[in-house]
Every structure is written in C-alpha cells, then in structure tokens.
Amino acid sequence: MKLRKFNAHGLDSMRDCLDRARQGEPLDFTQSIEDPDLTEIIDSTLEISYRAFHSRLAAGRFFNQVVGPIGPDADRDVGMWSWLSAVWAPSLAPEGKSVGRDYRWILEPANHQTYYRHLLAFPTLMVKTHGGDESVLSSILAGPLYAPGEINEQLGSVQEIAGCRSLLEAATALYVKPDTGEVRRGAASKGPGSARRLREVIGQFVLTWDFYEMDAVQVLAMLPPEFERFGAK
C-alpha cells in the first residue's frame, strides 16, 4: 500500500480505537488505514507493507530507510508515525498484550517525557542518529517492539545520553551479552550498576564532561565501582 499519514480525523479515530481496545474490544485499524477521509498519501511513489521484525533495531533500520526520502522533518510527523503504528498494530500489541498509553502509538514530538516512548519513531530516530550500529544501539533498543523496557526508559529519557554514541556504546557493553544479544540480569533493576543508576551518574557527569569527545572505553573507565559487576573497569 502507499505510505500515508493520518489527518486530524484519523488521529481522533485512532484514539477512539485505542480506547476501545483498553475496554476489551479487539484492536483493529484495518478500516481506517486506507480510508481517504482519515488519511492522506504522503508520496505516491512510496510503497510499504507490513512485515514482522526480530528486533527494535531491525525495525529502526527498516523505517529509517522508508522515511528517509520524505525529508528531514519526517521524524516529527505525527500523522505518519501514527499511521505506521496502526499498520504495525499486530507487532505493537500482539495478542494478550495491552495497547498501553496513546503516546506509544501517537507521536508527541514536542513532549520530552513521551517522544522516546513511541514504539516506532524512537527506534528510527536512534538509527538515524547513530547509523544502525549494533554495538551502539543494542542496549537502548533492546526488547521486543511492543515492550521497549527499562533501558529504553532510562537512557531514552535523557537526550544527552540518547544522542551520544560513546554513552550508548558503553551502555551496550555493560548491559548486553555480546554472544546472544540478551540483556544481562540486573540491568533493568533499581540496584547498583543498573541502567537507572547509569542515568543518574551520567546526569551528574555531563555537567563536567563532554562525552562526545570520548570513546566507550574512556566512559567505562570513569564509572564508579558499582558498575564493575557489569564489566566496567
């Protein structure tokens, strides 16, 4: 199908649909995603069709390729990201999983507390920013598409971390097993050395250090001993 975006009526319809899903009705956007009253075609040359992704990183790479030709403001296009979320609903709310809050589906680009929680736009923004490198993004883009998880929550909420390659690469070295790509036990906890603690520690360090000037090894060397349980030294 052609790449579209929801108009204001389409966004209203999407919110209604999400509300109904929260009340137990099946989530179904099939009637709305090609409705000319609710959507408009962005570019008649751009075709897109649903496919499943094995990771959020793979999804980010795919959507970065798809929306790249649209232009630099694509990452803030509320109607387009909402429409894409509707098309990808089977992956974003698989059977038995709740739809969650609206901002997971309807992008809020001006809201610093929610933009990084959009299930498709944020992985894409990360790939656009960092180039889709696994050694950088495997931590912040860990987890399935429908459940970004604690590392995304902690690191994505601070733009100075999410935008900094060396910090994300350090986080990946700490929290992701290189052989399996799984998140290490304790990374998502509230305990010492966790992603939550990394956010807090970095939050103080960025006042003094410019991490863009460093590589991940230098970052890891700066961390306090509580991170040694994840391999920092």
Which residues of this chain interact with other proteins, rule CB under 8 A? 8, 11-12, 15, 72-73, 75-76, 78-79, 109-112, 115-116, 125, 128-129, 158-160, 163, 203-204, 206-214, 218
Separation of CA 38 from chain center? 26
Give the CA radius of gyration of the chain.
19
Q: How far is the CB of 140 from other proteins (least distance, A)?
A: 14
Of residues 61 and 117, the one with the C-beta less far from other proteins = 117
CB closer to other proteins, 110 vs 179: 110
Complex with other proteins: residue 104 or 128, whichever CB lies closer: 128
Which residue has 């290189």 as its token pair? 178
- Rounded to a whole number of angstroms, the minimum distance from the CB of residue 204 to other proteins is 6
44 contacts: CB under 8 Å, gap ≥ 6? 2
- CA atoms of 109 and 34, how far apart (whole Å): 24
CA 172/CA 136 separation, integer angstroms = 6
Selection from 164, 229, 163 nearest residue 197 by Cα = 229
Residue 38 C-beta: closest distance to other proteins, Å:
13
Minimal distance in Å, beta carbon 160 to other proteins?
Answer: 6
CB-wise, 164 or 183, nearer to other proteins? 164
